[in-house]
Amino acid sequence: MMKLYSNSTDPFSHRCRIVLFEKGMDFEVIDVDLDNNTEDVAILSPYSNSPVLEERDLVLTDPNIINEYIDERFPHPQLMPPDPVMRARARLFLKDFESALFVHMKDLEAKDLKVREIAKKTVTNTLIQLSPILEKQEFLLHDEYSMLDVAMAPLLWRLDFYDIKLGNQCKALLKYADKIFSRQLFDEAMTPAERAMRNII
């Protein structure tokens, strides 16, 4: 059985939990503090502050690598495109999202107000640029729910928590977010602490 060492509020752990629930296979989620590793996590990955997946003698720490491994190991429903060209494009989008959005997510929770404000401005501007794409298609990779939507979902869920306000120019993005949040498996992948971020019990 796969074991995911996951933090209950960490957006990158959230991303991995979404994929596990989408696949509908047997797994165990172990809640840990990734910033202050428990003994088990320290043995598996002494330098990691990201989710850790363990299966037999395999240990993975990067959320993108974890999710691609799960997707290949359990190919139904497939979250990365089967076509090599589209799969390469999906990986390129994920890489762009990492540098333009996800790298700033830790700063959105920083104690330093200036750091938080810079991160908020950067993330807000990037999301505004993304919104027109969703006026033309249902999901980020055309009309199929994919790993790109999985990666984006934890950030969109936390917008209120991060005090990020999106105006009318992001109507398509907010509608898209609601569509993702309405998925039953998205709801099942959330922890109580994550539900509390939007005052949902």
Whole-number pLDDT of residue 91: 96
Tokens of 182: 């309405």
The set of residues, in sequence order, having a beta carbon less than 8 Å from that of 193 and lying 6+ positions away, is 8, 9
Whether the CB-CB separation of 194 and 9 falls below 8 Å is answered with: yes
Whole-number pLDDT of residue 35: 67
Whole-number pLDDT of residue 43: 60
- Dihedrals phi, psi of 60, to nearest 5 degrees: -125, 145
Nearest of 61, 54, 1, 55 to residue 25 by alpha carbon = 1
In a domain, 190, yes or no: no
* Distance from C-alpha of 166 to C-alpha of 185, rounded to nearest angstrom: 26
Beta strands in the chain (DSSP E): 2-6, 27-31, 52-55, 58-60
Domain boundary among 73, 107, 135: 73
- Dihedrals phi, psi of 155, to nearest 5 degrees: -65, -45
Shared domain for 61 and 88, answered yes or no, is: no
Whole-number pLDDT of residue 72: 95
Whichever domain contains 29, its CATH number is 3.40.30.10
In a domain, 67, yes or no: yes
In a domain, 79, yes or no: no
In a domain, 98, yes or no: yes
Whole-number pLDDT of residue 40: 63
Q: Which domain holds residue 51?
A: 2-73
Split into its structural domains, the chain has a count of 2
Whole-number pLDDT of residue 1: 86
Could you list the pLDDT tens digit for every one of the 201 residues in the chain? 899 999 999 999 999 999 999 999 899 999 988 666 666 666 666 666 789 999 998 999 899 999 999 999 999 999 999 999 999 999 999 999 999 999 999 999 999 999 999 999 999 999 999 999 999 999 999 889 999 999 999 999 999 999 999 999 999 999 999 999 999 899 999 999 999 998 765
- What pTM was estimated for this model as a whole? 0.92
In a domain, 194, yes or no: no
Whole-number pLDDT of residue 142: 87
